[in-house]
Amino acid sequence: MQEASFEGAETISGEIFADKYLIRRVSCAGCPIGCVHIAMLKRQFSKAHEYETLNISYDFELIYALGSNLGVADPEAVLELIDACEKAGVDIISMGVVLAWATEMQQRGKISTEETMGLKLSWGDKAAYLRAIELVVQAPNEFYKALGKGVDYASKKYGGEDFAIRLGGLEIPGYHTGLGNVLGLSVGARHSHLDNAGYAADQAAFNRPLSDEQIVEYVIDEEDRRNILNCMVSCLFARNVYTYENIILALKSIGIERTEEELKELGKDIFRKKIRTEKRNSVLSLKTLPSRKGFLKQPLLQGSLKKKESEKRSKCTEKKRGV
């Protein structure tokens, strides 16, 4: 979030990965979408011309988190970092944001090599990030233990909350498109970009003018619909296949009669139950914009966000939701 663009974007684009590394796409059983992309990475492990080939699953979010977010412009380096996180069993979006925060902390002199155990973090340094991933998992000192608990926890303990990039307490995915995205991640039930699709509202507003109120309605209606799809155990990558009309037909085939209005009310009821559950378990605390100035100063699809307007719309969304 220091910059709104990345000079190495073309070298880690989807087209480059497809042309040079993609070996196959995989679907879940019976699914026609095939959203799982598998790359093949050839890597030398001995000076005697010995090589191994790794099959590594990748997608946009992973390339963002461990690529552009960390200033890594080498696609093979991105794949190695993804592989290291997968083998460690850690969330890659969270790991990428945590490492970016730690890099900026060291860059600003807020932590030293004492906290990082001699490791010097710098943008684009694959070797340093590979070692940092190991240390976060091993948690050999208090600093790495804090990193393992996420950027919200670590920044409250060590400072740097202003550039700890999170919404709703969680590290952000690879979208900074505008008001809809900030609203969706701040007041959505699951704080998942896929569950609320605030970024899609911003994309819609880019193609045709939408007022802030219309963006609020878009975010609410779309999350309600996705709640229904989740309960039907439908993958959200196939969401456009499952229109209300198709859902009604699918349910009818197994003897369940529902109207479109009944489904919409079901989606709202699911949302309310999720919010109540999270509040009861102290998981969720609805928040407005975080303090990070980058959320407000970086150019977006429709220009920069205004803090007061964004907070106003967040409150408007909460009120309309009844939460």
pLDDT given for residue 31 in this prediction: 80
CA 179/CA 87 separation, integer angstroms: 35
Own/partner contacts of 200-208, CB < 8 Å, gap of 24 or more, are 202/177, 202/178, 202/300, 202/301, 202/302, 203/177, 203/301, 205/178, 205/180, 205/301, 205/302, 206/301, 206/302
Residue 176, helix vs strand vs coil = coil
DSSP 3-26: -S--TTGGGGSHHHHHHHTEEEEE
- Sorted by sequence, the CB contacts under 8 Å of residue 79 that are 6+ apart come out as 21, 39, 41, 54, 56, 58
What the block records as the tokens of 315 is 């409150």
H-state helical runs in the chain: 14-20, 60-66, 75-88, 92-107, 126-138, 142-148, 151-158, 179-187, 193-196, 198-207, 212-231, 244-253, 260-280, 294-297, 307-321
pLDDT given for residue 318 in this prediction: 59
Q: Which residues pair with 303 in a beta bridge?
A: 301
Whether 85 contacts 66, CB under 8 Å? yes
Task: Evaluate whether 9-167 and 175-321 have a shared fold.
Answer: no
Task: Give ∠ CA 119-125-131 in degrees, rounded to 5.
Answer: 45
Instruction: Please report, for the chain, the start and end positions of each structural domain, with discontinuous segments joined by +.
Output: 9-167, 175-321
pLDDT in tens, the chain (323 residues): 888 789 999 999 999 999 999 999 998 887 878 889 999 999 888 889 899 999 999 999 999 999 999 999 999 999 999 999 999 999 999 999 999 999 999 999 999 999 999 999 999 999 999 999 999 999 999 999 999 999 999 999 999 988 888 887 889 888 888 888 888 887 777 666 777 888 888 888 888 888 888 988 998 899 999 999 988 888 888 888 889 999 999 999 999 999 999 999 999 999 889 888 877 876 555 544 454 555 666 666 666 666 545 555 556 565 566 65
pLDDT given for residue 23 in this prediction: 96
- CA distances from residue 236 to 12, 15, 141, 193, 231 in whole angstroms, order as listed: 25, 23, 39, 11, 11
Residues 303/307/308/314 CA torsion (nearest 10 deg): 90
CA 233/CA 42 separation, integer angstroms: 36
pLDDT given for residue 322 in this prediction: 62
CATH number corresponding to 9-167: 1.10.569.10
What the block records as the tokens of 212 is 């802030």
CATH number corresponding to 175-321: 1.10.599.10
What the block records as the tokens of 188 is 């959505």
